[in-house]
Structure 1
Amino acid sequence: MPARQLPVQVRAKCSHLMLADPSFDEPAPVEMLIGADIFPQVWKNKCSSLGPGFPSVYSSVFGWVLIGPVQEHPDIGAQSMLVSLVSSMESIIERFWKAEEPEAAPPQFTEDGLCEELLNSDMRKDQAHQPSTYDG
């Protein structure tokens, strides 16, 4: 009676039971409804859980009946992937300092660069190619 095919794990969990419907895990229309007034006469007072993600099974005069929700993939547990990266502490610290160290400023923005620019603008070379100041 399920709306869609049940996972094969459900059938495997029930393989030891005499089921009321041997094709319980295949989609099919409802064959019989049992009302609450008849249920106590049909039920044999035995039940068992098939585990987390699986329905419970109840004993009846027709055989065992499954009642309850079914998870899509009940047997899939936690998954993990381990990754190991080996780097020396020295290379890690070196990369850190490279990332943290600012780039050197262009010469025109440093104090030495500004002084050299000022000196070059005030100096002229004479005929002997010697630097001399221009008093313009």
Structure 2
Amino acid sequence: MSMLAELVEVVIGVDTHKHTHTAAVLDARTGAVLDRVTVTADPDGYTKLLDLAERRSGLRAWAMEGTGGYGAGLARHLADAGELVVELDRPKRPARRAGAKSDPIDANVPPATPWPAPGWRSPRPGPSGRRCRCG
């Protein structure tokens, strides 16, 4: 089984929310954070994320939660742009209590995670097969 770091050079982890998305650009081999940004969850924000990604050379993958919910619009935008998108399982509730939940931390996807692995999957459509709940 390959590690994600063996397949791409950059991983962009995205923590999705209704109004904003927080992204961390990581060096896939070292896990070092190269850049971090929070954008609006709309086409202008999606374009800003792609512009951020374009500043880094090499193969990249986007790893995000909620591709069937709050991240559906971004997942569709990225797929339309030919980007590789994988969905992460949402962290279990106990791990998120007592300050463990943080957008910047959630966006830091571990590039050493085996690929494919439990917790990684292709983006899924929203309810009724729709790609975005926002219309």
Normalised by the length of structure 1, the TM-score is: 0.19
Normalised by the length of structure 2, the TM-score is: 0.20
Give the strand-richer structure, 1 or 2.
Answer: 2
Say which structure, 1 or 2, has more relative contact order (CA 8 Å, 6+ apart).
2
